Protein backbone atom coordinates (compact mmCIF):
# COMPACT_ATOMS: atom_id res chain seq x y z
CA UNK A 1 0.00 0.00 0.00
CA UNK A 2 1.37 3.38 -0.92
CA UNK A 3 -1.05 5.58 0.92
CA UNK A 4 -1.00 6.85 4.42
CA UNK A 5 -3.51 8.89 6.36
CA UNK A 6 -3.65 11.00 9.43
CA UNK A 7 -5.99 13.28 11.47
CA UNK A 8 -6.65 15.83 14.68
CA UNK A 9 -8.88 17.91 17.24
CA UNK A 10 -9.72 21.20 19.28
CA UNK A 11 -12.04 24.35 20.58
CA UNK A 12 -8.89 25.50 20.82
CA UNK A 13 -6.63 23.84 18.42
CA UNK A 14 -7.54 22.67 15.00
CA UNK A 15 -5.96 19.51 13.95
CA UNK A 16 -4.33 18.55 10.68
CA UNK A 17 -3.94 14.82 11.04
CA UNK A 18 -0.72 12.47 11.27
CA UNK A 19 -1.34 8.75 11.85
CA UNK A 20 -0.66 6.50 8.93
CA UNK A 21 -3.18 4.27 7.26
CA UNK A 22 -3.60 3.17 3.71
CA UNK A 23 -5.38 5.81 1.77
CA UNK A 24 -3.81 9.06 0.69
CA UNK A 25 -3.61 11.28 1.77
CA UNK A 26 -9.19 22.15 11.76
CA UNK A 27 -11.95 26.64 17.67
CA UNK A 28 -13.51 27.49 20.81
CA UNK A 29 -17.07 26.37 21.19
CA UNK A 30 -17.85 29.31 23.42
CA UNK A 31 -16.53 32.87 23.04
CA UNK A 32 -12.76 32.83 23.42
CA UNK A 33 -12.64 35.31 26.26
CA UNK A 34 -14.78 33.18 28.59
CA UNK A 35 -12.00 31.72 30.67
CA UNK A 36 -14.26 29.50 32.76
CA UNK A 37 -16.31 28.12 29.88
CA UNK A 38 -15.85 24.59 28.57
CA UNK A 39 -14.32 24.92 25.15
CA UNK A 40 -14.27 22.32 22.40
CA UNK A 41 -11.16 20.48 21.38
CA UNK A 42 -12.56 19.74 17.96
CA UNK A 43 -11.29 19.30 14.45
CA UNK A 44 -12.24 20.80 11.16
CA UNK A 45 -10.57 19.07 8.24
CA UNK A 46 -7.48 16.94 8.87
CA UNK A 47 -5.71 18.52 5.95
CA UNK A 48 -2.26 17.01 5.94
CA UNK A 49 -3.44 13.47 6.49
CA UNK A 50 -5.28 13.27 3.22
CA UNK A 51 -2.23 14.00 1.05
CA UNK A 52 0.23 11.56 2.56
CA UNK A 53 -0.05 9.15 -0.35
CA UNK A 54 3.36 8.98 -1.96
CA UNK A 55 3.79 9.00 -5.72
CA UNK A 56 7.27 7.47 -5.86
CA UNK A 57 7.77 6.72 -9.55
CA UNK A 58 8.12 9.42 -12.17
CA UNK A 59 4.77 10.15 -13.77
CA UNK A 60 2.68 8.56 -10.98
CA UNK A 61 -0.54 10.47 -10.32
CA UNK A 62 -2.96 9.70 -7.49
CA UNK A 63 -6.36 11.37 -7.08
CA UNK A 64 -8.33 10.89 -3.87
CA UNK A 65 -11.79 11.76 -2.55
CA UNK A 66 -12.42 11.33 1.18
CA UNK A 67 -15.37 11.99 3.46
CA UNK A 68 -14.98 12.02 7.26
CA UNK A 69 -17.64 12.16 9.96
CA UNK A 70 -16.13 13.45 13.22
CA UNK A 71 -18.08 13.29 16.49
CA UNK A 72 -16.76 15.77 19.10
CA UNK A 73 -19.02 15.36 22.13
CA UNK A 74 -16.78 13.99 24.92
CA UNK A 75 -16.43 16.40 27.85
CA UNK A 76 -13.02 16.02 29.50
CA UNK A 77 -11.26 17.57 32.48
CA UNK A 78 -7.54 16.81 32.32
CA UNK A 79 -7.49 13.04 31.80
CA UNK A 80 -11.00 12.34 33.15
CA UNK A 81 -14.35 12.15 31.36
CA UNK A 82 -17.02 14.42 32.85
CA UNK A 83 -20.82 13.97 32.55
CA UNK A 84 -22.31 16.62 30.25
CA UNK A 85 -25.52 18.12 31.66
CA UNK A 86 -26.12 20.42 28.66
CA UNK A 87 -27.12 17.67 26.22
CA UNK A 88 -24.56 19.08 23.85
CA UNK A 89 -23.84 17.58 20.43
CA UNK A 90 -20.93 18.62 18.20
CA UNK A 91 -20.07 17.18 14.79
CA UNK A 92 -17.98 18.02 11.73
CA UNK A 93 -18.43 16.47 8.30
CA UNK A 94 -15.64 17.07 5.81
CA UNK A 95 -15.09 16.32 2.14
CA UNK A 96 -11.57 16.39 0.75
CA UNK A 97 -10.20 16.18 -2.79
CA UNK A 98 -6.45 15.67 -3.04
CA UNK A 99 -3.84 14.73 -5.59
CA UNK A 100 -0.18 13.69 -5.66
CA UNK A 101 2.11 13.73 -8.71
CA UNK A 102 5.68 12.44 -9.05
CA UNK A 103 7.78 14.90 -11.03
CA UNK A 104 10.78 12.57 -10.83
CA UNK A 105 11.50 9.31 -8.98
CA UNK A 106 12.48 11.40 -5.94
CA UNK A 107 10.40 14.59 -6.12
CA UNK A 108 6.63 14.82 -5.91
CA UNK A 109 4.04 17.53 -5.24
CA UNK A 110 0.66 17.24 -3.51
CA UNK A 111 -2.33 19.54 -3.17
CA UNK A 112 -5.60 19.39 -1.29
CA UNK A 113 -8.94 21.23 -1.37
CA UNK A 114 -11.56 20.70 1.34
CA UNK A 115 -15.15 21.51 2.31
CA UNK A 116 -16.50 21.25 5.87
CA UNK A 117 -19.88 21.39 7.61
CA UNK A 118 -19.96 22.13 11.36
CA UNK A 119 -22.96 21.33 13.57
CA UNK A 120 -23.48 22.22 17.24
CA UNK A 121 -26.53 21.65 19.45
CA UNK A 122 -26.86 22.74 23.07
CA UNK A 123 -30.20 21.73 24.58
CA UNK A 124 -29.92 24.26 27.43
CA UNK A 125 -29.24 27.19 25.07
CA UNK A 126 -31.78 29.60 23.52
CA UNK A 127 -29.93 29.22 20.21
CA UNK A 128 -30.11 25.44 20.42
CA UNK A 129 -28.66 24.58 17.01
CA UNK A 130 -25.85 26.23 15.04
CA UNK A 131 -24.48 25.17 11.67
CA UNK A 132 -21.91 26.53 9.25
CA UNK A 133 -20.41 25.18 6.05
CA UNK A 134 -18.14 26.17 3.23
CA UNK A 135 -14.78 25.83 1.59
CA UNK A 136 -12.05 25.19 4.17
CA UNK A 137 -8.28 25.62 4.14
CA UNK A 138 -6.08 24.09 1.43
CA UNK A 139 -2.61 22.55 1.51
CA UNK A 140 0.28 22.36 -0.95
CA UNK A 141 3.26 20.12 -0.17
CA UNK A 142 6.55 19.27 -1.86
CA UNK A 143 8.06 15.91 -1.01
CA UNK A 144 11.54 14.40 -1.47
CA UNK A 145 12.03 10.62 -1.35
CA UNK A 146 15.77 9.74 -1.41
CA UNK A 147 15.03 6.01 -1.39
CA UNK A 148 11.89 3.90 -1.79
CA UNK A 149 10.83 0.30 -1.17
CA UNK A 150 11.64 -1.86 -4.21
CA UNK A 151 12.40 -5.57 -4.78
CA UNK A 152 16.00 -4.62 -3.91
CA UNK A 153 15.37 -2.31 -0.92
CA UNK A 154 13.19 -2.67 2.15
CA UNK A 155 13.40 0.96 3.28
CA UNK A 156 11.62 4.14 2.25
CA UNK A 157 12.24 7.66 3.55
CA UNK A 158 10.33 10.79 2.60
CA UNK A 159 10.59 14.38 3.85
CA UNK A 160 8.39 17.29 2.90
CA UNK A 161 7.49 20.91 3.52
CA UNK A 162 4.52 22.98 2.53
CA UNK A 163 1.92 25.57 3.41
CA UNK A 164 -1.66 25.70 4.58
CA UNK A 165 -3.56 28.36 2.63
CA UNK A 166 -6.65 30.16 4.06
CA UNK A 167 -8.99 29.56 1.11
CA UNK A 168 -12.10 29.25 3.30
CA UNK A 169 -14.28 31.79 5.10
CA UNK A 170 -13.49 32.64 8.72
CA UNK A 171 -16.31 35.18 9.28
CA UNK A 172 -19.36 32.90 8.96
CA UNK A 173 -22.45 33.82 10.95
CA UNK A 174 -25.83 35.52 10.63
CA UNK A 175 -26.03 38.71 12.69
CA UNK A 176 -22.84 37.82 14.58
CA UNK A 177 -19.59 36.04 13.78
CA UNK A 178 -19.42 32.46 15.02
CA UNK A 179 -16.59 31.26 17.25
CA UNK A 180 -13.40 30.03 15.61
CA UNK A 181 -14.23 26.34 15.92
CA UNK A 182 -17.42 26.84 13.92
CA UNK A 183 -15.69 28.61 11.04
CA UNK A 184 -15.04 26.67 7.81
CA UNK A 185 -11.48 28.06 7.61
CA UNK A 186 -8.82 29.35 9.98
CA UNK A 187 -8.27 32.64 8.13
CA UNK A 188 -4.50 32.30 8.53
CA UNK A 189 -1.52 30.88 6.69
CA UNK A 190 0.46 28.03 8.23
CA UNK A 191 3.71 26.17 7.60
CA UNK A 192 4.16 22.39 7.59
CA UNK A 193 7.22 20.13 7.87
CA UNK A 194 6.75 16.39 7.52
CA UNK A 195 8.77 13.16 7.45
CA UNK A 196 7.97 9.46 7.17
CA UNK A 197 9.86 6.17 7.16
CA UNK A 198 8.64 2.72 6.06
CA UNK A 199 10.27 -0.69 6.44
CA UNK A 200 9.22 -3.82 4.54
CA UNK A 201 9.63 -7.07 6.47
CA UNK A 202 9.79 -9.22 3.33
CA UNK A 203 10.87 -8.85 -0.29
CA UNK A 204 7.28 -8.68 -1.52
CA UNK A 205 6.66 -5.78 0.92
CA UNK A 206 3.36 -7.29 2.02
CA UNK A 207 4.08 -6.49 5.68
CA UNK A 208 5.34 -3.00 6.51
CA UNK A 209 6.06 -0.77 9.49
CA UNK A 210 5.40 2.97 9.09
CA UNK A 211 6.59 5.85 11.28
CA UNK A 212 5.83 9.51 10.60
CA UNK A 213 6.02 12.95 12.21
CA UNK A 214 4.74 16.36 11.21
CA UNK A 215 4.70 19.82 12.73
CA UNK A 216 2.33 22.63 11.81
CA UNK A 217 3.10 26.25 12.59
CA UNK A 218 -0.12 28.29 12.63
CA UNK A 219 -0.27 31.97 11.84
CA UNK A 220 -2.61 34.63 13.27
CA UNK A 221 -5.82 35.60 11.47
CA UNK A 222 -7.34 39.08 11.08
CA UNK A 223 -9.12 38.78 14.44
CA UNK A 224 -5.75 38.21 16.16
CA UNK A 225 -6.63 34.57 16.81
CA UNK A 226 -4.00 31.87 16.40
CA UNK A 227 -4.64 28.15 16.68
CA UNK A 228 -1.98 26.32 18.69
CA UNK A 229 1.00 24.85 16.87
CA UNK A 230 0.65 21.08 16.40
CA UNK A 231 3.07 18.16 16.64
CA UNK A 232 1.99 14.70 15.42
CA UNK A 233 3.87 11.42 15.89
CA UNK A 234 2.46 8.19 14.52
CA UNK A 235 3.33 4.57 13.89
CA UNK A 236 1.40 1.79 12.18
CA UNK A 237 1.68 -1.76 10.89
CA UNK A 238 0.16 -2.67 7.52
CA UNK A 239 -0.32 -5.95 5.69
CA UNK A 240 -1.42 -6.80 2.15
CA UNK A 241 -3.32 -10.04 2.70
CA UNK A 242 -3.82 -10.64 -1.03
CA UNK A 243 -4.13 -8.64 -4.24
CA UNK A 244 -7.45 -7.05 -3.24
CA UNK A 245 -7.43 -6.62 0.57
CA UNK A 246 -5.10 -4.88 3.03
CA UNK A 247 -5.36 -3.71 6.62
CA UNK A 248 -3.47 -1.46 9.00
CA UNK A 249 -3.51 -0.58 12.69
CA UNK A 250 -1.74 2.43 14.14
CA UNK A 251 -1.24 4.81 17.03
CA UNK A 252 -1.13 8.59 16.71
CA UNK A 253 0.11 11.03 19.35
CA UNK A 254 -0.76 14.71 19.09
CA UNK A 255 0.57 17.62 21.16
CA UNK A 256 -1.22 20.93 20.58
CA UNK A 257 -0.13 24.18 22.19
CA UNK A 258 -2.78 26.51 23.62
CA UNK A 259 -4.57 28.82 21.20
CA UNK A 260 -3.88 32.52 21.51
CA UNK A 261 -5.73 35.78 21.00
CA UNK A 262 -3.71 38.99 20.80
CA UNK A 263 -0.66 37.02 21.95
CA UNK A 264 -2.26 35.66 25.15
CA UNK A 265 -3.01 31.99 25.79
CA UNK A 266 -6.68 31.05 25.80
CA UNK A 267 -7.69 28.87 28.78
CA UNK A 268 -9.10 25.39 28.14
CA UNK A 269 -7.33 24.97 24.81
CA UNK A 270 -4.57 22.59 23.73
CA UNK A 271 -3.42 19.34 25.21
CA UNK A 272 -2.15 15.86 24.38
CA UNK A 273 -3.98 12.99 22.69
CA UNK A 274 -3.24 9.33 21.88
CA UNK A 275 -5.56 7.71 19.32
CA UNK A 276 -5.96 4.25 17.82
CA UNK A 277 -6.50 4.25 14.06
CA UNK A 278 -7.53 1.03 12.29
CA UNK A 279 -8.07 0.88 8.52
CA UNK A 280 -8.74 -1.51 5.70
CA UNK A 281 -8.44 -1.13 1.95
CA UNK A 282 -10.11 -2.95 -0.92
CA UNK A 283 -8.47 -2.85 -4.36
CA UNK A 284 -11.50 -2.84 -6.65
CA UNK A 285 -9.34 -2.76 -9.80
CA UNK A 286 -5.63 -2.41 -10.54
CA UNK A 287 -6.00 1.40 -10.35
CA UNK A 288 -9.01 1.99 -8.09
CA UNK A 289 -9.31 1.39 -4.33
CA UNK A 290 -11.77 1.90 -1.49
CA UNK A 291 -10.55 2.46 2.08
CA UNK A 292 -12.35 2.62 5.44
CA UNK A 293 -10.81 3.92 8.64
CA UNK A 294 -11.71 5.04 12.15
CA UNK A 295 -10.18 7.02 14.98
CA UNK A 296 -10.77 6.18 18.64
CA UNK A 297 -9.25 7.99 21.65
CA UNK A 298 -7.15 5.88 23.99
CA UNK A 299 -5.85 8.65 26.27
CA UNK A 300 -5.94 12.44 26.50
CA UNK A 301 -4.56 15.03 28.88
CA UNK A 302 -6.19 18.37 28.10
CA UNK A 303 -5.28 21.84 29.33
CA UNK A 304 -7.53 23.84 31.62
CA UNK A 305 -10.72 22.92 33.47
CA UNK A 306 -12.99 21.51 30.73
CA UNK A 307 -12.82 20.78 27.01
CA UNK A 308 -15.07 19.03 24.53
CA UNK A 309 -13.03 16.67 22.38
CA UNK A 310 -13.17 13.77 19.93
CA UNK A 311 -15.55 10.89 20.67
CA UNK A 312 -14.70 9.06 17.44
CA UNK A 313 -14.44 9.59 13.71
CA UNK A 314 -15.01 7.50 10.60
CA UNK A 315 -13.72 8.04 7.06
CA UNK A 316 -14.35 6.58 3.61
CA UNK A 317 -11.81 7.16 0.85
CA UNK A 318 -11.70 6.50 -2.89
CA UNK A 319 -8.33 6.59 -4.68
CA UNK A 320 -7.51 6.31 -8.37
CA UNK A 321 -3.97 5.90 -9.64
CA UNK A 322 -2.86 6.78 -13.17
Q: Could you read off the pLDDT of 237-271 as tens digits, one per residue?
A: 999 999 999 999 999 999 999 999 999 999 999 99
Residue 183, domain member (yes or no): yes
Average pLDDT over residues 187-203: 94
- Domain-located, residue 129: yes
The answer to whether 238 and 247 have CB atoms below 8 angstroms apart is: yes
Rounded average pLDDT over 22-28: 31
Judged by average pLDDT, the poorest of 29-38, 112-121, 202-211 is: 29-38
In a domain, 204, yes or no: yes
The CATH number assigned to the domain holding 60 equals 2.40.128.130
What is the per-residue pLDDT across 281-314, written as a single tens digit (0 to 9) for each? 999 999 999 999 999 999 999 998 899 899 999 9
**Rounded Cα gap, residues 294 and 7, in angstroms:** 10
CA distance 104 to 3: 18
Q: Look at residue 31 and tell me if it is in a domain.
A: no
Q: How many CB atoms lie within 10 A of CB 312?
A: 15
Q: Is residue 59 part of a domain?
A: yes
* Within a domain: 23: no
Residues recorded for the chain: 322
Residues 6+ apart with CB under 8 A from 121: 87, 88, 89, 90, 128, 129, 130
The total domain count for the chain is 1
pLDDT number for residue 126: 60
With a cut of 80, say whether residue 16 has pLDDT above it: no
In a domain, 163, yes or no: yes
User: Is-contact 89 37, C-beta < 8 A?
Assistant: no
* Domain-located, residue 200: yes
Mean pLDDT of 43-51: 49
pLDDT in tens, 127-180: 678 888 999 999 999 999 999 988 889 999 999 999 999 998 888 877 788 888
Could you give the percent of the chain with pLDDT greater than 90? 62
Query: Domain range for residue 199?
Result: 39-321
Amino acid sequence: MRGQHSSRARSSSREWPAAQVFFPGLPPDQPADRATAATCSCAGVPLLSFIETSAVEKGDLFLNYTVEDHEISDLVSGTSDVPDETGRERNSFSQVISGSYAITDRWSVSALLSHVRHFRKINTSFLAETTSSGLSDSVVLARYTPFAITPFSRHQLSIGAGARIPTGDNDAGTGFILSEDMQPGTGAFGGIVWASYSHAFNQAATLQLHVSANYTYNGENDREYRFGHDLYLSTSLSQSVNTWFSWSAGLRYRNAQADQRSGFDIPNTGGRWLDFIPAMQFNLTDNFSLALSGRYPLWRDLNGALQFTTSHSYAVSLTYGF
